[in-house]
Structure 1
Amino acid sequence: MLEEYLRHFVNARQKNWVQLLDVAQFCFNAQTSSSTWRSPFKIVSGRQPVLPHLVDHPFVGKNSQALNFTKEWKQTNDIARAYLEKASKRMKKWADKKRQPLEFPAGDQVLIKLRPEQVRVALPTWMKIYPVIHVSNLKPYHQDTEDLQRNIVTRPIIDLSQKEDKDVEEILAERVRRGRRPARRIHEYLVKWKNLPVEETSWERVEDLEAWKQKIEDFKFRQLTGTSTI
């Protein structure tokens, strides 16, 4: 509300708001609240300050500077009070728009937050709750017109984890190469695949050859005995 009030209070170019903050703060703290019927000054100190515009006396005296200050203070304070009241009414108008209660004609479908309050609704028999619910826990129900069946996949799911149907014919060589990390070593075997040309020979990791452990054992035996396949 203070932001809205300052927009009305400052000049057209909005360059003098710094000089008006003390007056705005004083006027706001002296304003009586509609909810507590007391001003912030009254609540904190127990006393209501006497404002210049409340003192009934003519602007006379020997000190012209003091008289001018009193006149300017009264004028500024009157303007501040007027704009503060205007801002308060505008904020109340905005707040009242959101405070209007919802109204539901008989027969409307609603969605319910399951907390018993104060509006009677027709509930399914399987819901074991009291059918009196507060209107703040209801909102209008709009039936979903989207065809949910169109998103159901009817094609068979392809198992991408299945490997190609290949069989190891022979292990030809062995190597250990360095991985991306300096301390990592990758153990691989050169595999000749059955029923495939020599060009399809490939290096495979040892963990991918779990099903052909016997082929690996045969390769190691040949390495120890110095024999080879013909």
Structure 2
Amino acid sequence: MLRCIVQEHPKLWDEILGQAEFAYNSMTNRSSGRSPFSIVYTKQPNHTIDIAVLPKCSSKPASSFANQFSSMLQEVRAKLLESNNKYKQKADEHRREQLYKLGDLVMVRLRRERVAPGTYSKLSPRKTGPFPILKQINPNAYVVDLPTHFNTSTTFNVTDLSPYHPPDDARTNISSSESDSPVDGGE
């Protein structure tokens, strides 16, 4: 947002920050249907046009104010839950359950966070393997027979595993001498 506002004057970002914050907090949120300012302060913020017109002061009992505020919060909560359910349904359309059995060969994706600093390269292969599954911890986590030179935990989330498909019909054997990782997950 700041990049769009400052454009060719990036060193003026600190002078623009207040305007950007005001714009963000007064903009209606797609999920809640209200602006962050109206959720916190129960009214829309005063813009420069509103400064000429002073707000009218009307005295109402505190209980009616509290009831209005709580009903507004319930409405926001309901809209957020509805929005979250829509997002979940959309995300679930693309999800697939992947179960592996002990001994299945998988390819492992080693993310930058899992390797020692300085050893990760953007140009290195995305996946490495194949490695056999040693143990299923739960439907989302598996212990893989990873060689010790990788120097990382052998427990992987199912999103970092993919089934190994050999390039030909030849049988693939992985000897246990290639890896000496513990079965407990290396943790």
Shorter-chain TM-score range:
0.3 to 0.5
Q: How does the TM-score come out when normalised to structure 2?
A: 0.33
Q: Which has the higher contact order (CA 8 A, sep 6+)?
A: 2
Specify the structure having the higher radius of gyration (Cα). Answer: 1
Higher helix share: 1
